[in-house]
Amino acid sequence: MGLVIDEVLRAALDRSSESAEVDFKSSFDVGAPGEWLALLKDLAAMANSGGGIILFGLDDGGQPSHTDVSQLLGVDPADLTNKIYKYTGSHFHAFEIIECEKCASQIVAMLIGDTKIPVVFTRVGTFEPMPGQQKTIFSVGTVYFRHGAKSEPGNSEDLRQFVERRLEEVKKFWMEGITKVVEAPTGSRIAIVPPESQPSHPAGVLPLQFTSDPSAPAYYAVPIDKTHPFRQKEVVVEVNSRLGQRKHITRHDILCIRRVHEVQKNIEFCYTQNYASPRYSPAFVDWIIGEFERDSAFFDKTKERFDALKHVSDSRSDMD
């Protein structure tokens, strides 16, 4: 997690009341259509209002509700993106689901970014709370914004503020695009070279970037799509392909491995992006296969350790 995001999340966890940027949900049932529709409304409202954070596992006062919200960690971000598209026609994916804690209780945070174009519902959001009954969460053509701690239909003031935010973003983009003029040492030559050029090139070129510290040259970074090409579900596919008939794993196995071995702290295995799902490297897949080949009970033992950690966390919560 980036430093800024970490500070924002910490501030949200410290809050004792909801706001336009922070929303508490004491529980969440991933199998309940009504709860998904309500989440889509809050997500759209926050995105339209400039972004925010939804914290699952906290009551209205910002205290742990001691309910199990861990199933949210197994939700594939692509599935949520598909749900958003189903009801809005927008491919919105500026969100990230991460695990955190408060008072030793497990909390799940959904960090939501802003959107350049207002998210509008193009399909009615209805479900049956009871057989024969229908409840509508949002209607066609509605644009939601955050009004205090509530997600409500927007008005002209909301649209004015939305336009002003976009203008500020464009202004900032233009200002950052202004090139700073620097003077090269006498006798220096500048050559335009492709990123893949190596120091062994006949011309002796070495791709660098300008930095305010002349003693610290910065080297060209390999794109994350090449170093960490897998999402969680793709890791499952890769591992199962390598294991063949010896073992079949699920996303829950990867979740257990992440928690027990703190994979997200290891940049070699996992790269965590702001407002996007974590990405994993081929080295992570190789490590999993290697652990299984060393001990065929690796996955079972990891699950047991995960359950033990969860039991300890639950026990602490009961004591608080």
Q: At what angle do helices 251-261 and 232-243 cross, to 10 degrees?
A: 100
DSSP class of 90? -
Q: Which of 80, 90, 86 is nearest to 54 (CA)?
A: 80
* Model confidence pLDDT, tens digit, residues 8-18: 888 999 999 99
Cα 79 → chain centroid: 13
- Residues ≥6 apart with Cβ < 8 Å to 127: 33, 34, 37, 134, 135, 137
* Model confidence pLDDT, tens digit, residues 292-303: 999 999 999 999
What pLDDT score was predicted for residue 307? Answer: 87
Amino acid at residue number 128? E
Rounded Cα–Cα distance for residues 152 and 155 (Å): 9
What pLDDT score was predicted for residue 187? Answer: 67
Distance in angstroms between the alpha carbons of the first and the last residue of the chain: 28
What pLDDT score was predicted for residue 209? Answer: 55
Q: And the tokens for 83?
A: 């749900």
- Residues ≥6 apart with Cβ < 8 Å to 99: 73, 106, 107, 108, 109, 259
Q: How many CA atoms lie within 13 A of 9 on its CB side?
A: 23
Q: And the tokens for 51?
A: 């972004």
What pLDDT score was predicted for residue 201? Answer: 46
Query: Is the distance from CB of 44 to CB of 121 less than 8 angstroms?
Result: yes
β-partners of residue 302 are: none
Cα dihedral sign for 240, 241, 242, 243?
Answer: positive
Domain 3-165 classification at class level: alpha beta
**In the chain, how many H helices and how many E strands?**
9, 12
Report the predicted TM-score, pTM, of the whole model to 2 decimal places.
Answer: 0.56
What pLDDT score was predicted for residue 189? Answer: 65
Query: Is the distance from CB of 94 to CB of 104 less than 8 angstroms?
Result: no
Query: Is the distance from CB of 233 to CB of 251 less than 8 angstroms?
Result: yes
Pairing of strands 22-25, 52-56: parallel
Amino acid at residue number 195? P
Over its length of 320 residues, how does the chain's per-residue pLDDT go in tens digits? 444 567 888 899 999 999 999 999 999 999 999 999 999 999 999 999 999 999 999 999 999 999 999 999 999 999 999 999 999 999 999 999 999 999 999 999 999 999 999 999 999 999 998 888 999 999 999 999 999 999 999 999 999 999 999 898 888 877 765 655 556 666 666 665 555 555 544 445 555 555 556 565 544 456 777 888 998 899 999 999 999 999 999 989 999 999 999 998 888 899 886 666 788 999 999 999 999 999 999 999 999 998 888 776 656 555 55
Rounded Cα–Cα distance for residues 152 and 145 (Å): 6
What pLDDT score was predicted for residue 1? Answer: 47
What pLDDT score was predicted for residue 275? Answer: 62
Structural domain spans, the chain: 3-165, 225-319
